[in-house]
Structure 1
Amino acid sequence: MAKKEKNEWFDWIKALLLALGLAFIVRMFLFSPIVVDGPSMLPTLEDRDQMIVNKLTYHLKEPDRFDIVVFHASAQKDFIKRVIGLPGEHVEVKGETLYIDGEAVEEPFLEEQKDNIRPYQTLTNDFSLENLPGGYEVIPDGHVLVLGDNRGNSTDSRMLGVISMDEIVGEASLVYWPLDRMQFVGE
């Protein structure tokens, strides 16, 4: 009887260790939670929204324009922003219009904000890639340009410069908390 009880405890310990090991692998290499900190992605994401970051996505493919990504802004802080410019592209904003390689590009996620702008107010101040830190003419290989959706209150590539793909943690696409905001986000 004692041996059977000992084997049962051993089986429970093995199952628990296996579950902890799987949870560790999933958390380290596949998915992890993040909490949005601040208003830089309003109205798409709200302060304190809790999201899942897919860490695997960019090991399989390059980011697409308008993906929402989490990246290491510093050793202590991760930021969440939207990919606007891709490697080899020239980016500028003039008169509230985004231009990629001289062609106007719609930003559907900003339409509501643009509709609510008062006269003499701007959502996105004019800028050109050359005027950003680094002074690039085109975005270098292995880098992206990111902006927050709340352009007037966002620390993004306009201050940080282009972001190395090595600094990107993953794609954030699912808000899971609060429950009334549960949604897939993106373009």
Structure 2
Amino acid sequence: MSFRPYLGKASAVIGYVLQTACITHCIIEYVGDFVLCTGPSMEPTLETNNILFTEHITPRLQRLRRGDIITAKCPTDPKQNICKRITGLPGDKVKGYFPRGSQVVPRGHVWLEGDNSDNSKDSRMYGPVPQGLIRGRVVCRVWPLNKMSLLTEH
């Protein structure tokens, strides 16, 4: 009994699985993915357990706009992801909790705030956020189905 035909078929299946895994990884890393929203900082726009579709092309091309909702690594805890709205772009004068009362957003950074300003840890606490921490731009809410909607302002 020869195992050669089975080895050929097994290696073909393994090859297809690896190709599929590589393609899936590239899509999730460079095109877009789904994100589970948690926490009250974006209420009432977004609620805990909303599932969002985010795209990764706009942040990579640095084409973000004021009003975009983004996902990013938290500047104070890189293990945590945040979901906030861009309220300031480089060169904008913004208000925060600092001695001078306001500051200019530096080049390569954005100012992020939650829609629920009374219950949001955002740039008002940790300052401007480097654009390199931005992971994706929220395109739409896909869950719950009765609240499915586009979340882009342009």
TM-score (norm 2): 0.84
- How far is the alpha carbon of 1:84 from its aligned partner? 0.6
Measure the CA separation in 1 of the matches of 2:101 and 2:33: 34
Matched, 1:165 2:139: no
Indicate the SS of the match to 1:53.
strand
Measure the CA separation in 2 of the matches of 1:48 and 1:136: 34
**Partner residue in 2 for 1:64:** 65
**Unaligned ranges ≥5, structure 2:** none
Q: How many residues align?
A: 150
Equivalent residue letter for 2:83: I
Matched, 1:89 2:92: yes
Sort the Cα spacing of 1:183 and 1:7 in 2 relative to 1 into closer, same or farther, 3 A: same
TM-score (norm 1): 0.71
Equivalent residue letter for 1:8: K
**Partner residue in 1 for 2:26:** 25
Measure the CA separation in 2 of the matches of 1:134 and 1:172: 32
Matched, 1:45 2:11: no
**Partner residue in 2 for 1:14:** 15
Equivalent residue letter for 1:177: W
Matched, 1:174 2:147: no
Indicate the SS of the match to 2:103.
coil
2:83 pairs, out of 63, 80, 105, with 80
- How far is the alpha carbon of 1:86 from its aligned partner? 0.8
- How far is the alpha carbon of 1:163 from its aligned partner? 0.8
Sort the Cα spacing of 1:39 and 1:24 in 2 relative to 1 into closer, same or farther, 3 A: same
The Cα offsets for residues 108-134 of structure 1, whole Å up to 9 and x where unpaired, read as: xxxxxxxxxxxxxxxxxxxx25x4489
**Partner residue in 2 for 1:154:** 120
Measure the CA separation in 2 of the matches of 1:84 and 1:174: 19
Indicate the SS of the match to 1:137.
strand
Sort the Cα spacing of 1:134 and 1:68 in 2 relative to 1 into closer, same or farther, 3 A: farther
Sort the Cα spacing of 1:59 and 1:133 in 2 relative to 1 into closer, same or farther, 3 A: farther
Task: Give aligned-pair identity as a percent.
Answer: 31
Sort the Cα spacing of 1:65 and 1:133 in 2 relative to 1 into closer, same or farther, 3 A: farther
Name whichever of 150-159 and 20-29 sits farther off.
20-29
